[in-house]
Chain A
Amino acid sequence: MSPRPVKLAALALLLLLPMVAGAAPKQLVLLFTGDNGGEVAPCG
């Protein structure tokens, strides 16, 4: 294989890598509060 196709194959692989990485699940954390009812201290 001449150097040019090798370079192109490597470039294609590099371009594909983010797509492969994108397929993995992403983890997010949602934090919720609610019904605080005017509390400003744990005992208040």
Chain B
Amino acid sequence: MIEKERKQGAPVLVLDAGNALFKSRDSAAAPDARARAELILSQMDAQGTAAMAVGTRDLGLGVDFLQAQTRKAKLKLLSANLVDAQEKRLFPASMVTKLQGVSVGVVGVSPETPKPVPVGIPAKGAPQELVRGLPGDALVAAEVRRLRTESKVDIVVVLAAVPYDEALRLADQVEGVDFVVQSHDGRPPGYAQKQGQATVIPPGDRGRQLAKLVLQVAGKGRFEDAAEQDRMRQSLRLLDDNLARAKKRLASSQDAGEKRALEQSVASLEARQASLRETLAGGATGGGRTHLLSYIQLGSDVPADPAVQKRVERVEPPGSAAH
């Protein structure tokens, strides 16, 4: 499916918002959990996923596991705020990639924890690994500033493997972010939600769909929702028709009372028309940047890759309880 998108011609960037590897925070001890996590990471890399945020449900086998599995991979694991017991950052905060001359900065953020929390599977006689999620907003803000000023990126995407309310707060309060892609709560596909200067995108869940965000990039400034602009254009067309009809009736009306009422209607419609035109013109000239969100459903109608299918069946044999 990703290959199909790549063949359409426009440059494609694949990103994962995190919480990819385990069913729950405590499910990593299940017999097939490691094989699943290894398969998912290697497939994400093979499919060209450029980066993934580290979420709570990615830490089931610890930080060492993640680092070892991605050491030779192109896939980058990101977190601006996940630190070890000595408060040393465990993953890079961000990465920058260039698509058709457009520079995209990607920042990862993990959930905040008030104190260090154990991760991984405890080994006998060894202390359990502790990690802490520092408050994310300030660290993300600093990283976004750095990307904007030093790396001169054109677009900033935050992969937020944090609860929904934390993602909304981040979108609202951190300057310079274009998109916040949130994972943590297993929210279903939804709509692009304006929040502050940014737009919050739900990526879908459980591998059932791909969220596809088509960007038109010209100039600087905030991205406008192309779907909203389409709705406004439709409203404007309807308004133009109503206004023409009202004016025609006004021209032919002989009754003074009806004329007054029609004059009021025309004035009100004209005011609404001017306001809509102004909003549309603002969207078009305020940078010429739009986004359009849709979802590609991944059902049984999407043919499986035979080689991948073989690997999946080793982890999850046909007819097994998980099927």
A interface, CB within 8 angstroms of B: 22-44
Contact = CB atoms under 8 A, between A and B. Distances in A.
Nearest to B6: A29
Contacts of B36: 38, 40
Given A33-B211, A42-B298, A28 B217 contact: yes
A26 B207 contact: no
B11 interface: yes
Contacts of B185: 35
B322 to A, nearest CB: 4
B288 to A, nearest CB: 6
Interface in B197-236: 201-208, 210-218
- Interface size class for chain B? 35 or more
B16 A33 contact: yes
Interface stretch (B96-104, B113-121, B247-255, B263-271): B96-104
A13 to B, nearest CB: 21
A32 B141 CA distance: 22
B186 interface: yes
Contacts of B208: 42
B152 interface: no
B19 A34 contact: yes
Contacts of A43: 322-323
A25 B23 contact: no
Contact of B10 (A24, A29, A42, A44): A29
Nearest to B321: A44
B73 to A, nearest CB: 16
Q: Which of A22, A23, A36, A42 has the most CB of B within 10 A?
A: A36
B316 A30 contact: no
A24 B33 contact: no
B300 to A, nearest CB: 6
Nearest to B33: A38
A24 B218 CA distance: 7
Contact of A33 (B184, B207, B217, B316): B207
A31 B12 contact: yes
Contacts of A24: 218
